[in-house]
Structure 1
Amino acid sequence: MNEKPGFLFALPINRRRMLQRLGAGAAIAAPVWSHSATPYPTGPVTLVVPFSAGGQFDSIGRAVALAMAADLGKPMIVENTGGAGGTIAGGKVARAKPDGQTLLLYGGNLATAGDIYKTLDYDPLNDFQAISRLSLAPHVIMASPASGITSFKQLRDKLNSGAKLSYGSPGVGTSMHLTFELVKQQMGLDVLHVPYKGGANVMTDLIAGNIDLGIIAIGPALSFIKNKKVVPLGLTSKARSKVAPEIPSLSELGVTDLDTGSWAGLSAPKATPAHIVERLNQSAHRALQSADLKRMFEEQGFVATPTTPAQMKQFSVQEAKAFSAVIRNLKL
């Protein structure tokens, strides 16, 4: 791969070996592909990741890219393009040539971007060709031990008694912020939002008792939950998570039709030829079947969720619809 020099060697040795196994496994499984149209790919494929290197979204992109590169028979170069909630990266791919050589790691941040960023020169929902969803991990709502809250019933009781409570999220307009606001609406909770610049900052203040509640993705929260530094209240999914089966889902607690979290998918510029979309969809599905990649996902609380292009597009539209009223109410 034409990554930054020394990328693999800069990683911890266990992660480096895992990524190397992912590539090798996909290479073994790769079938011979033939199609009457122009062969694809014709050269290195660039996967644009809309956040900086080192985070969970970036980890997913790099692992999937390595496995797909072996399957496609060409390098897949990961290019981190952060800023403006992922919309800078989105614009770059939306304007790229629709030949399948430039792809986007698409997520909920872009599905809702059209309601948040009114000056975009592209449509975050309709200027991309969906390929496949890749992963989904629920968010987890937690309480600080100092708050004395161990359940949503206790949370309601405190609020009904006149207590003034606060919750932290990784930032205004993030999926965690919008999800908690949706939960507030459905459960009738009056809780003050305190925005942070990332999930790590949320956890620091939650553990210290500076905020009463917090919401971040399940993966980064797991070690704090297991060490009883925070109290988990519920997951923003319809089902419980394999990595934390003791935490109830919010659907069990009366929040209906909520099944959201941090998710990632693969998209291409609009008008990408159908045979290229099909090729990429099949390659993504094979990458997600890798035992090592599945293990990596599960360790971080992610679940592989391969779909058809139509299913991914439908999911994106549903996400945008679910949060549009929340965004309008918050005047984001």
Structure 2
Amino acid sequence: MKHRHTPRRAALQALSGTFVAAVLAGATLSPGAAMGQDYPTRPVKMLVGFSAGGGVDALARMLGDRLAKPLGQNVVVENKPGASSTIAANTLMASAADGYTVLLGDSSLLIAARAMQNVSFDPVNDFVPVAGVATAPLALAVGSGSPLQSLEDMARTAKSGKPLNFATSGIGTVHHLAMEHMQALAGIELTHLPYRGASALLPDLISGTVDMGVLSAAAAMGQVKAGKIRVLGLTSPVKGTDWRAISDWLPGFDASPRLFVLAPAGTPGPVVARLESELGKLMTDPAIAEELVKQGFVPAFRSGKEVAADMSQELDRWTGLIRRSGIVLK
């Protein structure tokens, strides 16, 4: 028996074929891949664990401004200061894993995860690294009238039995643990004098009230130019200065704070890849690199996988130093 293909039947068959094709296409495109293609469709929030006006905040706002154009959406910086960035980290952990909330963090977050009591997040399992963007070298400095002329001179003095102290911006900071790391490698003992922030220790460093102080390389530059302090060594090399890196004296020394972008665990891979790609383009732009250097940072783009490896190594190093030093943060 023959069937007549009426216009109505033909239309239904065409509609059915279109529906099946659409279903099959949807089956081959995972939700994450689809999100990666469309992402972002609304503003992205970048959390910062420090107050507005600081160095990390300034970096976040610069990144946010520069990311807005390629992403086609605004990147809004939201400050969540306090508790060594753990407030910001907890906010990130509680956020949806969709790429619309990320965190610009630094090494202090990893230290807090191992030194603080009752930390609710695991930096390895609760977050996914997106990219590394920079390092922030620290300077070990003395007042201009100090008798200490070099790192070797400092070590000889300490080993002779003469007490030496150093000031930092607080217990358990990267500044503090950098000095613990240096002491362990050099086989010396120094007395730690914690201050409430770098600005508080600077007058005592200049006057010679404290023997040495650890501050950001950016903050040290202006004081060195004014003839008020001298830099004995840096936690990592800084272009444009003749300051010595501590690693030149102590091979294996590595303590510069690293800055990286994290997203909540479970964020779709295509979304993470999009953010990583755009950050990579930014960090290899000479104009942006120059701007970062002016702010005291060293541009250092790292892929998400590289950041994961860096974080693992840092956590091992900080954990060992924290245990040896008996540091416990509340």
Bucket of the pairwise TM-score, normalised by the shorter protein: 0.7 to 0.9
2:243 aligned to which of 238, 247, 251: 247
2:282 aligned to which of 280, 283, 287: 287
Secondary structure of the corresponding residue to residue 202 of structure 1: helix
Q: Which has the larger radius of gyration?
A: 2
CA distance in structure 2 between the aligned counterparts of 1:63 and 1:98, rounded to whole angstroms: 24
CA distance in structure 1 between the aligned counterparts of 2:70 and 2:167, rounded to whole angstroms: 41
Secondary structure of the corresponding residue to residue 246 of structure 2: coil
2:11 paired residue number: none
Work out the percentage of aligned pairs sharing the same amino acid: 30
1:17 paired residue number: none
1:315 paired residue number: 310
Q: Which digits, 9 at most, give the CA deviation of each residue in 1:306-328, with x for residues without a partner?
A: 12111011111111111111111
CA distance in structure 2 between the aligned counterparts of 1:129 and 1:160, rounded to whole angstroms: 44
Secondary structure of the corresponding residue to residue 278 of structure 1: helix
Secondary structure of the corresponding residue to residue 266 of structure 1: strand
Contact 1:87 1:113 in 2 (8 A): yes
1:273 paired residue number: 268
Contact 2:108 2:257 in 1 (8 A): no
- Paired residue type of 1:297: L
Q: How does 1:299-310 map to 2 (within 5 A)?
A: 299-310=294-305
Q: Which digits, 9 at most, give the CA deviation of each residue in 1:43-67, with x for residues without a partner?
A: 0100000000111111111101110
CA distance in structure 2 between the aligned counterparts of 1:123 and 1:306, rounded to whole angstroms: 23
Residue ranges of structure 1 left out of the alignment (5+ in a row): 1-34
Deviation at 1:126, TM superposition (A): 2.2
Q: What's the TM-score, normalizing by structure 2?
A: 0.85
Deviation at 1:186, TM superposition (A): 0.8
Q: Which moved more, 1:97-106 or 1:158-167?
A: 158-167
- Paired residue type of 1:193: H
CA RMSD for the aligned pairs? Answer: 1.5
Q: Which digits, 9 at most, give the CA deviation of each residue in 1:228-269, with x for residues without a partner?
A: 2111111112xx31131x11111211x122233122111100
Check if 1:256 corresponds to 2:260: no
CA distance in structure 2 between the aligned counterparts of 1:312 and 1:162, rounded to whole angstroms: 41
1:208 paired residue number: 207
- Paired residue type of 2:285: S
Q: How does 1:158-169 map to 2 (within 5 A)?
A: 158-169=157-168
Contact 1:139 1:176 in 2 (8 A): yes
Secondary structure of the corresponding residue to residue 145 of structure 2: helix
Deviation at 1:222, TM superposition (A): 0.8
Contact 2:105 2:261 in 1 (8 A): yes
Q: How does 1:50-65 map to 2 (within 5 A)?
A: 50-65=49-64
CA distance in structure 2 between the aligned counterparts of 1:160 and 1:328, rounded to whole angstroms: 24
- Paired residue type of 1:276: V
Q: Label 1:97 to 1:153 Cα distance change in 2 as closer, same or farther (>3 A).
A: same
Contact 1:243 1:301 in 2 (8 A): no
CA distance in structure 2 between the aligned counterparts of 1:306 and 1:131, rounded to whole angstroms: 11
Residue ranges of structure 2 left out of the alignment (5+ in a row): 1-31
1:37 aligned to which of 31, 34, 39: 34
Secondary structure of the corresponding residue to residue 283 of structure 1: helix
Number of residue pairs the alignment of both structures matches = 294
